[in-house]
Amino acid sequence: MVKSKIITVKGAEIKIIHINDAEYISLTDMVKGFGDDTMIYSWMRNRNTIEFIGIWEEMNNPDFKGNEFVTFKTQAGLNSFNLTPRKWIDTTNAIGIISKAGRYGGGTFAHKDIAFEFGSWLSPEFKLYLIKEFQRLKEDENDRLKLDWNLQRTLAKVNYHIHTDAIKENLIPYQITQQQAAFVYASEADLLNVALF
């Protein structure tokens, strides 16, 4: 299941999707303040872009087809050279850029590293605001996770005391010695720890 979030950068709402423990930022949303999707194609025609996304793939994608990358790199910059996100993905088996069809939720998405580079190509000011908003989103998520963890920890602590008190009151026989009671209590508490954790 793909989770999505929205950040606002200089008035533009930009969708971020989470796939396989990585964030992908919508390049389609990023270009709305600058033009249309053809800007993505223009960016992908650039030799520096091809080198950047190719090196990123080599570092992060064991199934990347490097020979096709070399072919694109040698053609980049020529007037006849054209590259779309779909062609890049299909030819090189790339994972850093995702192209999704559809009116709602469709568009071109890029791993955050690549999206920040694209933001720099659009405008250095836009890139800085994009990074700032992305970091704010991550800080908000981390704060929420800390709260959830503390809440769960507190609930576990309260429940643990309820369970251990129940062991003392209901499972330890009255006719045994203090040492035997400690042994029964410890074994029941160990069983309780296994069940809870």
Confidence of residue 86 (pLDDT cuts 50, 70, 90): very high
Sorted by sequence, the CB contacts under 8 Å of residue 127 that are 6+ apart come out as 116, 119, 120
How do the domains of the chain map onto residue ranges? 3-122, 146-196
pLDDT tens digits, residue range 20-53?
Answer: 888 999 999 999 888 888 899 999 999 999 999 9
**Per-residue model confidence as pLDDT tens digits over 152-192:** 666 666 666 666 677 667 666 666 777 777 777 677 777 76
**40, 28 Cβ separation under 8 angstroms:** yes
Q: How many residues does the chain have?
A: 197
- Closest Cα to residue 22, out of 88, 109, 122, 148? 109
The helix or strand, by DSSP H or E, that contains position 107, with its residue range, turns out to be strand 107-111
- The type of residue at 126 is F
Alpha helix stretches (DSSP H) within the chain: 27-30, 38-45, 47-60, 66-75, 85-92, 112-122, 124-170, 178-196
Place of tokens 């040492």: 179
Say if residue 1's pLDDT is above 50: no
Q: What is the pLDDT of residues 99-136, one digit of tens each?
A: 988 777 688 999 999 999 999 999 999 899 898 988 88
